[in-house]
């Protein structure tokens, strides 16, 4: 029996192909398919060639090398260093402006040219490199800034050029920071460099009581040489210092000078700062920038956790004492950690803080002593007070004002003054030691009744 559908369901093929409209359609479709195939093969081929012939390096904004590469790219290039082509807009730069205080000028401003977003072609040591700087659609969840990426592309055969570039960029970054101290502060959940790197503060410019500076500096240097000792004994490689004493006695200045001496930076967290809490503190401890001293200012803030709310309903810092201890003890802390805690109120601290690895050394940086007053005088007037007579009269005046003990050191003064106040007096009377002696009354602390 024949199939009843076989004759009725299909049109005979030759009828179809004899139809000019249909045949034309097939022809066009065939051409389209061939073109699509050719395009796909071309793309595949191009990406194969790209993979075989080109080498890419991607640098993300989160990586430490990102600013180095950006700075390297912004270097003035010799003639021919930039290549003009229809495809590239190589003269697109973006501007970075840094302002800072300079003596006798209201503001000193520096401008830096940075490669703008988009694609640039540069020539370096006879190799052509394509530089693509682009913003990503994702953003840093704490700062809200979009992620960025720089892609460097060169011929595969010339890929060694990347080593040169990274080496040069690193060297450039090192020389830019030579003689400077980098300062980092917490921003959101991240550390960020704040301000320009500061000129290193010489240790001699901070005058502490006799032997104090030497003791701390010696201890830190000793610690830095003993990494293996700690590792062999399975002890976390950390050392903590607590500096306490009245404001203006030189605690922060000393830490900055010490960092300069060790060629370290300083990473600062102010524990009384708004918005800082236990979780954030613990997280920041895990990411402390390498080769920096961690400075925890106002350590006592963790002990007066709940203050009276102010007008805006702010009830003080949210770091608790146990939060601070957890952060200090945390397992995820970096390779080496030198932490300095400072406070003006030692009485508010808890002795649980004084444990190896948390706080190993406690030093009082107190009211100015006779020794410090004399040393500060020497630093400011040493070159004009040849016979030391001015210094003697200044010290006698401070004894008279009951600010420092007499020469024998027997009578304790009833009042005291800070090194910051003495520095202020000397700065006001630059090269005028008589003026400084005359105005020494100004060093008596004033107590204002509210
Ligand atoms: P602290 O951290 O103890 O409150 P700072 O280090 O902030 O004090 O000092 C405030 C200012 O006083 C700084 O400009 C610093 O140069 C000066 N100063 C304070 N103490 C000393 C010191 N012992 N030697 C030299 N300068 C000092």
Residue nearest atom 11 in ligand 1 by C-alpha distance = 420
| pLDDT exceeds 50 at position 85 | no
| pLDDT exceeds 60 at position 90 | no
Residue 208 near ligand 1, beta carbon < 6 Å = yes
Q: What is the average per-residue pLDDT within 275-293?
A: 88
Instruction: List, in sequence order, every residue forming a beta bridge with 277; answer none if it has no partner.
Output: 318
**Where would I find the beta strands (DSSP E) of 20-92?**
54-60
pLDDT, tens digit (0-9, with 9 covering 90-100), for 220-246: 999 999 999 988 988 889 999 999 999
| pLDDT exceeds 70 at position 110 | no
> What pLDDT shows up at residue 367?
87
**How far is the centre of ligand 1, averaged over its atoms, from the C-alpha of 250 (Å)?**
3
Residue 295 near ligand 1, beta carbon < 6 Å = no
- Grouping H, G, I as helix, E, B as strand and the rest as coil, residue 426 is helix
Radius of gyration of the chain (CA): 34
Least confident range from 134-138, 183-187, 294-298: namely 134-138
Residue 207 near ligand 1, beta carbon < 6 Å = yes
Q: What are phi and psi of 265, to 5 degrees?
A: -100, -175
Please answer whether residues 292 and 299 qualify as being in contact, where contact means their C-beta atoms are separated by less than 8 angstroms.
no
Q: What is the average per-residue pLDDT within 312-317?
A: 50
**How far is the centre of ligand 1, averaged over its atoms, from the C-alpha of 28 (Å)?**
84
Which residues, in sequence order, are CB contacts of 308 under 8 Å at separation 6+?
A: 315
Q: What is the average per-residue pLDDT within 338-363?
A: 88
Higher pLDDT, residue 80 or 64: 64
Q: What is the average per-residue pLDDT within 350-356?
A: 85
Nearest ligand 1 atom to alpha carbon 424:
12
pLDDT, tens digit (0-9, with 9 covering 90-100), for 130-174: 889 888 878 776 667 788 899 999 998 888 889 989 999 888 888
Nearest ligand 1 atom to alpha carbon 247:
4
Q: How many angstroms separate the CA atoms of 246 and 257, rounded? A: 19
Q: Which of 43-52, 392-401, 440-449 has the largest mean confidence?
A: 392-401
| pLDDT exceeds 60 at position 310 | no
> What pLDDT shows up at residue 183?
93
Task: State the residue for tokens 């009245």.
Answer: 246
Residue 252 near ligand 1, beta carbon < 6 Å = yes
The tokens for 17 are 């192909």
| pLDDT exceeds 80 at position 438 | yes
Largest CA distance in the chain: 136
Q: What are phi and psi of 327, to 5 degrees?
A: -65, -45
| pLDDT exceeds 90 at position 290 | no
Provide the 10 A C-beta neighbour count for residue 251.
24
The ipTM of this complex is: 0.98
Q: What is the average per-residue pLDDT within 432-450?
A: 82
**How far is the centre of ligand 1, averaged over its atoms, from the C-alpha of 137 (Å)?**
46
Q: Output the CA–CA distances (angstroms, integers) from residue 89 to 71, 82, 93, 221, 432, in the order listed.
A: 19, 10, 10, 51, 60
**How far is the centre of ligand 1, averaged over its atoms, from the C-alpha of 422 (Å)?**
10
| pLDDT exceeds 90 at position 266 | yes
Per-position DSSP letters for 362-425, written without gaps between them = EEE--SPPHHHHHHHHHHHHTTT-TTSHHHHHHHHHHHHTTSS--TT--SPPS----HHHHHHH
**How far is the centre of ligand 1, averaged over its atoms, from the C-alpha of 263 (Å)?**
20
> What pLDDT shows up at residue 307?
44
Q: What's the whole-model pTM score?
A: 0.72
Nearest ligand 1 atom to alpha carbon 372:
23
Question: pLDDT-derived band of residue 86, with 50, 70 and 90 as boundaries?
Answer: very low
Residue nearest atom 19 in ligand 1 by C-alpha distance = 250
| pLDDT exceeds 90 at position 372 | yes
């Amino acid at each position: 029996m024949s199939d009843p559908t076989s004759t009725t369901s299909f049109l005979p093929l030759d009828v179809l192909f004899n139809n000019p409209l249909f045949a034309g359609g097939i022809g066009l479709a065939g051409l389209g398919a061939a073109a699509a195939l050719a395009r796909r093969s071309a793309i595949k081929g191009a990406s194969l060639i790209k993979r075989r012939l080109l080498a890419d390096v991607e640098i993300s904004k989160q990586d430490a090398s990102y600013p180095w590469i950006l700075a390297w790219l912004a270097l003035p290039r010799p003639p021919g260093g930039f290549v003009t082509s229809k495809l590239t807009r190589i003269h697109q730069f973006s501007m970075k402006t840094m302002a800072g205080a300079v003596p006798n000028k209201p503001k000193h401003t520096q401008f830096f040219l940075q490669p703008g977003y988009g694609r640039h072609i540069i020539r370096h040591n006879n190799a052509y490199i394509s530089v693509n700087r682009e913003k990503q659609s994702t953003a840093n969840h704490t700062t809200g800034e979009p992620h960025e990426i720089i892609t460097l592309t060169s011929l595969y055969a010339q890929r060694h050029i990347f080593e040169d570039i990274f080496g040069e960029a690193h060297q450039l970054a090192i020389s830019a920071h030579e003689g400077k101290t980098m300062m980092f502060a917490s921003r959101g959940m991240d550390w960020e460099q704040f301000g320009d790197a500061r000129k290193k503060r010489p240790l001699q410019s901070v005058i502490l009581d006799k032997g104090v500076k030497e003791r701390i500096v010696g201890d830190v240097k000793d610690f830095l040489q003993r990494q293996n000792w700690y590792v062999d004994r399975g002890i976390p490689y950390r050392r903590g210092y607590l500096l306490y004493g009245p404001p203006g006695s030189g605690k922060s200045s000393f830490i900055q000078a010490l960092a300069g001496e060790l060629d370290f930076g300083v990473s600062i967290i102010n524990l009384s700062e708004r918005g800082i809490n236990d979780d954030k503190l613990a997280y920041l401890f895990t990411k402390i920038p390498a080769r920096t001293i961690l400075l925890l200012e106002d350590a006592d803030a963790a002990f007066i956790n709940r203050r009276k709310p102010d007008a805006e309903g702010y009830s003080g810092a949210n770091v608790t004492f146990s939060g601070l201890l957890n952060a200090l003890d945390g397992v995820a802390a970096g390779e080496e950690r030198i932490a300095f805690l400072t406070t003006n109120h030692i009485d508010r601290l808890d002795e649980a803080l004084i444990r190896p690895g948390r706080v190993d050394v406690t030093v009082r940086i107190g009211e100015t002593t006779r020794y410090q007053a004399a040393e500060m005088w020497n630093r400011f007037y040493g070159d004009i007070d040849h016979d030391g007579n001015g210094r003697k009269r200044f010290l006698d005046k401070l004894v008279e004002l009951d600010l420092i003990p007499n020469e024998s050191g027997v009578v304790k003064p009833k009042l005291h003054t800070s090194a910051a106040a003495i520095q202020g007096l000397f700065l006001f009377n630059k090269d005028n030691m008589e003026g400084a002696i005359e105005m020494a009354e100004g060093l008596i602390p004033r107590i204002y009744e509210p």
